[in-house]
Amino acid sequence: MTPDRNLALELVRATEAAAIRATPWIGKGRKNDADGAAVDAMRAFLATVAFDGTVVIGEGEKDRAPMLFNGERVGTGDGPACDIAVDPIDGTSLTAAGRQNALSVIAVSDRGSMLDASSVYYMDKIVTGPEGHGVVDIRRPIGENLRALAAATGREVGDLRVAVLDRPRHAELIEQIRDAGAGTRLLLDGDVAGGINAARPGTRIDVCVGIGGSPEGITTACAIKALGGFMQTMIAPRDEDERAKAEASGLESGRVYELDDLVAGDNTIFVATGVTDGGLVDGVRRDGPIIHTSSIVLRSKSGTVRRISAEHPVSKWW
Q: Which of 247, 262, 277 is the last residue of a domain?
A: 262
The response to whether 64 counts as a known ligand-binding position is no
- Write the DSSP string, the chain: ----HHHHHHHHHHHHHHHHHHGGGTTSS-HHHHHHHHHHHHHHHHTTSSSEEEEEE-SHHHHTS----TT-EES-S-S-EEEEEEEEEE-HHHHHHT-S--EEEEEEEETT-B---TT-SEEEEEEE-GGGTTT--TTS-HHHHHHHHHHHHT--GGG-EEEEE--GGGHHHHHHHHHTT-EEEEESS-HHHHHHHHHSTTSS-SEEEEEEEHHHHHHHHHHHHHHT-EEEEEE--SSHHHHHHHHHTT--TT--EEHHHHB-SS--EEEEEESS--SSS---EEETTEEEEEEEEEETTTTEEEEEEEEEEGGGT-
Mean pLDDT, the chain cut into blocks of 10 residues (318 residues total): 70 96 96 93 93 83 58 89 93 93 95 92 96 97 98 97 97 98 92 93 94 92 95 96 94 96 93 94 95 96 92 89
Asked if residue 104 and residue 160 are part of one domain, the reply reads: no
Amino acid at 149: L
Let me know if residue 188 belongs to a domain: yes
Instruction: Answer with the one of 241, 262, 283 that is the final residue of a domain.
Output: 262
How far is the C-alpha of 262 from the C-alpha of 247, rounded, in Å?
Answer: 16
Q: Is 52 marked as a binding-site residue?
A: no
117 domain-assigned = no
According to the annotation, is 257 in a ligand binding site? no
Q: Residue 265's pLDDT is what?
A: 87
Is 311 known to sit in a ligand binding site? no
Instruction: Give the HSE-up count for residue 139: Cα atoms under 13 Å, Cβ half-sphere.
Output: 6
- Is 87 labelled a binding residue? yes
Residue 132 belongs to some domain of the structure: yes
Tell whether 35 is in a known binding site. yes
Q: Is 73 annotated as a binding residue?
A: no
pTM reported for the whole predicted model: 0.91
Question: Has 92 been labeled as part of a binding site?
Answer: yes
Q: Is residue 285 part of a domain?
A: yes
My answer on whether 144 and 256 are in the same domain is: yes
Phi/psi class of residue 64: alpha, beta or left (left: φ > 0; alpha: ψ in -120 to 50)?
Answer: left
Do 81 and 170 reside in the same domain of the chain?
no
Residue 130 annotated as binding?
no
User: Do residue 275 and residue 191 come from a single domain?
Assistant: no
Query: Is residue 156 annotated as involved in ligand binding?
Result: no
CATH number at residue 142: 3.40.190.90
Q: What is the pLDDT of residue 62?
A: 45
> Could you tell me which of 265, 300, 309, 307 has the C-alpha nearest to residue 5?
300
Q: Is residue 1 part of a domain?
A: no
State whether 87 and 138 are in the same domain: no
Regarding whether 144 and 202 lie in a shared domain, the answer is: yes
Q: Does 161 share its domain with 136?
A: yes
**Amino acid present at 48:** T
CATH label of the domain that carries residue 94: 3.30.540.10
My answer on whether 231 and 141 are in the same domain is yes
For residue 61, what are the CA distances in angstroms to 39, 66, 67, 277? 13, 8, 7, 26
Integer angstrom CA distances of residue 308 from 62, 274, 292, 297, 302: 30, 11, 10, 8, 17
Distance CA 222, CA 297 (A): 11
**Residue 158's closest CA among 179, 175, 141, 183?**
183
Q: Judge whether 5 is annotated as a binding position.
A: no
Is residue 108 within 8 A of residue 265, CB to CB? The reply is no
**Residue 91 labeled ligand binder:** yes
Count up the domains in the chain and report the number: 2
Same domain, yes or no: 204 and 152: yes
Mark which of 227, 242, 262 sits at the end of a domain.
262
Give domain status of residue 237, yes or no.
yes
My answer on whether 161 and 218 are in the same domain is yes
242 is in an annotated binding site: no
For residue 21, the one-letter residue type is: R
Rounded-to-integer distance, Cα 262 and Cα 217, Å:
8
Residue 13 within a domain: yes
Expressed as residue numbers, the domain containing 223 is 122-262
Task: State how far the alpha carbon of 127 is from the alpha carbons of 118, 170, 291, in Å.
Answer: 21, 16, 34
Neighbours of 113 (CB within 10 A): 20
Same domain, 101 and 129: no
Instruction: Determine the Cα–Cα distance for residues 160 and 89; give it in Å rounded to an integer.
Output: 29
Residue 149, CB-side half-sphere exposure with 13 Å CA sphere: 34
| CB hemisphere CA count around 179 (13 angstroms) | 11
pLDDT (0 to 100) of residue 279 = 87
Based on the domain organization, do 156 and 258 belong to the same domain? Answer: yes
